Amino acid sequence: MSGGINIARTDKLRAFALLSPAYLWLTLAVFLPLSAMAFFSFLTEVPFGDAEWSVTLTNYSAFFESSTFSRLLLKSVMLGVKVTALCVLIGFPCAWVLAKMIKGRAREALFLMVILPFWSNSLVRIFSWAIVLRGNGVLDKFVNAIWPWDVKVNLLFSEWAIVIGLVHSYLPYVILTSYLALQAIDDSLIEAARSLGAKWWTILWRIVLPLSAPGLLAGAVLVFVPVVGSFMEPRILGGRMGTYYGTLIEDQFVAVFNWPLGAALSFILLAVVLIILAVASPILKRAQT
């Protein structure tokens, strides 16, 4: 009997030895910083050196009193909604084509091609859009070549440029999750519905969408959350138009050096993100299985 307990104990020790380095690292580099940020957001000054600091709520009241901050947060949330909606509308049909219309090795290759840009440098991809969209740029030349009238196409430094760049960045996410969900739907189910006389929209609405909803929603959440916190994309593609909640936070840390306010703004964003993830988590869990 004591032997069994001993084995259990060595197992526990082994598990602890194997797990602790990774989780200590995560604690040091992610969980402690997030807690430190929460603490900082209640201070008047950064507590380094001999700076005078005290506990305060002003950083948070600043958010609720000034309409600028909440307006920017709303602007970022709206950007997230637009980009997510476009990604879903464009990506879901694409996943359908991949999962149900193309077969065999071609499907694997095409799927990899769709996913590949997602795993390449996102900053560089945003930069490539700046070159394409600028006035007198490639898009301008392209449109003028096929359009008989002379038009000026200069989308750079507009909200459109930001939306295009972000859709380009996150579209593969939605395609990936929808593809995995659609692949799990049995073809014979659709065949059966069709042979019973169901029209394509009935099949879509009553069979395909309900069955693939978890995957589709998982993709939507995975797009929405980073877009609300984006700052590099609005900066590069939006220029002076590109003031969003993310760029506001960036400014507090690299330009204005008001770290406590930056921490409070970051924490409010984190709260928004966590609420979204909490609401979506039952759905995300279903998507996993």
Partner 1 sequence: MKAQLRTRVTTGIGIFYLSSILFFLYAPILVMAAMSFNASEFYQLPFQFSTQWYERMWENEAILSAAWRSIWIAIVTTVFATALGTAASVALWRYDFPGKRILQVLLFPPIAIPWLITGTAMLIFFFGVGIGRGTPAVILGHVALALPYVIVVVTARLATFDRTLEEAARSLGARPWMVTRRVMLPWIAPGVIAGALFAFAVSFDQFVISYFLSEPGDSTLPVLIYTAIRKGFTPEINAISTIIIAVSMVVMLTAARFTKFGGEK
Tell which one of 18, 196, 255, 278 touches partner 1 (CB under 8 A).
Answer: 18
Q: How far apart are CA 289 and CA 285, in angstroms?
A: 7
Backbone angles phi, psi at 103, to 5 degrees: -120, 160
Instruction: Establish if 263 lies at the interface with partner 1 (CB under 8 A).
Output: yes
| Residues between 124 and 143 with contacts to partner 1, criterion CB under 8 A | 124-125, 127-132, 134, 137-138, 141
Query: Site for partner 1 (CB under 8 A): how many residues?
Result: 84
Considering the complex, state which of residue 31 and residue 64 has its C-beta at the smaller distance from partner 1. 31
Residue 236 contacts partner 1 per CB under 8 A: yes
Q: What residues between 65 and 94 interact with partner 1 by CB under 8 A?
A: 90, 93-94
- Nearest residue to 252 (alpha-carbon basis) of 55, 72, 125: 72
Q: 177 to 206, contacts with partner 1 by CB under 8 A?
A: none
147 near partner 1, judged by CB under 8 A: no
Of residues 156, 181, 228, 287, which one binds partner 1 by CB under 8 A?
228
Using alpha carbons, select from 99, 68, 55, 70 the residue that is nearest to residue 215: 99
**Interacting span for partner 1 (CB under 8 A) from 35-43, 52-60, 65-73, 210-218:** 35-43
Q: Does 23 bind partner 1 (CB under 8 A)?
A: yes
Query: CA-CA distance, 228 to 123, in Å (whole number)?
Result: 17
Neighbours of 178 (CB within 10 A): 28
Report the residue number, 211 or 232, with the smaller CB distance to partner 1: 232
- Among the listed residues 112, 196, 255, 278, the single contact to partner 1 using CB under 8 A: 112
Query: If binding is defined by CB under 8 A, does position 102 make contact with partner 1?
Result: yes
Residues 37-56 that bind partner 1 (CB under 8 A): 37, 40, 46-48
Residue from the set 214, 219, 226, 242 that interacts with partner 1 by CB under 8 A = 226
- Closest to partner 1 by CB, 159 vs 250, is 250
* 262 in contact with partner 1 (CB under 8 A): yes
| Closest CB 238 distance from partner 1, rounded Å | 12
Identified binder of partner 1 from the candidate list 230, 242, 261, 264, rule CB under 8 A: 230
Out of 54, 104, 119, 289, name the contact with partner 1 by CB under 8 A: 119
Tell me if 155 contacts partner 1 by CB under 8 A.
no
Q: Is 244 in the site for partner 1 (CB under 8 A)?
A: no
DSSP assignments along the chain, one per residue? -HHHHHHHHHHHHHHHHHHHHHHHHHIIIIIHHHHHHHHHTTBSS--STT----B-SHHHHHHHH-HHHHHHHHHHHHHHHHHHHHHHHHHHHHHHIIIII--THHHHHHHHHHHGGGGS-HHHHHHHHHHHHSTTSHHHHHHHHHSSS------TTSHHHHHHHHHHHHHHHHHHHHHHHHHTS-HHHHHHHHHTT--HHHHIIIIIHHHHHHHHHHHHHHHHHHHHT--HHHHHHHGGG---HHHHHHHHHHTS--HHHHHHHHHHHHHHHHHHHHHHHHHHHHHH-
